[in-house]
């Protein structure tokens, strides 16, 4: 039923719950698990007084993305086939583009379950992906 399952990761400590669900679904479906991390190109600190150059921001984001991929792949283990990718862009858009471009059948992603002011200020990548995804999205509540 599912051949390719996408697991986006931001490298947070709580990704383990989503990785466990994605691994189980991939194993039961004989699917390939695609672990994706997005280098967020929106440098919120770039300004004359912000302190971070575009290059410094991008380098730091690439390091974070590589670490996120490594951590998540370790959590998944080697019971299912895994492909990894790092892309640049705005996370919600990059995830949806990956779904379309790479022909994903399902997305499994964590959600922090933010509400109120945190949700308004930080937003929810998972919510935006759920609303716009052409394929099923399984969200897993990440623990604090």
pLDDT tens digit sequence for 19-77: 999 999 999 999 999 999 999 888 666 555 456 677 888 898 999 999 999 999 999 99
Domain with 113, as residue range(s), is 4-141
3-state percent helix, strand, coil for the chain, nearest multiple of 5: 45, 25, 30
* Residue 9: CATH number of its domain: 3.40.50.620
**Residue 142: other Cβ atoms inside 10 A:** 19
Tokens of 107: 């997305």
How many domains would you assign to the chain?
1
Which CA distances in Å does 44 have to 40, 89, 106, 128?
10, 13, 31, 20
- Single pTM value for the model: 0.88
Helix (H) or strand (E) holding 67: helix 54-76
């Amino acid at each position: 039923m599912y051949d390719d399952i996408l697991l986006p990761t931001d490298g947070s400590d709580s990704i383990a719950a989503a990785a466990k669900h994605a691994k189980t679904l991939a194993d039961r479906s004989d699917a390939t698990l695609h672990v994706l991390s997005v280098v967020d190109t929106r440098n919120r600190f770039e300004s004359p007084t912000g302190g971070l150059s575009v290059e410094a921001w991008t380098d730091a984001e690439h390091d974070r993305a590589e670490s996120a991929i490594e951590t998540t792949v370790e959590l998944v283990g080697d019971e299912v086939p895994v492909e990894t990718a790092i892309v640049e862009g705005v996370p919600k858009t990059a995830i949806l583009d990956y779904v379309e471009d790479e022909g994903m059948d399902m997305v499994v992603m964590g959600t922090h379950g933010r509400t109120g002011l945190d949700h308004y200020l930080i937003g929810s990548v998972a919510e935006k992906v759920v609303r716009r995804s052409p394929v099923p999205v399984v969200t897993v509540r990440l623990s604090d």
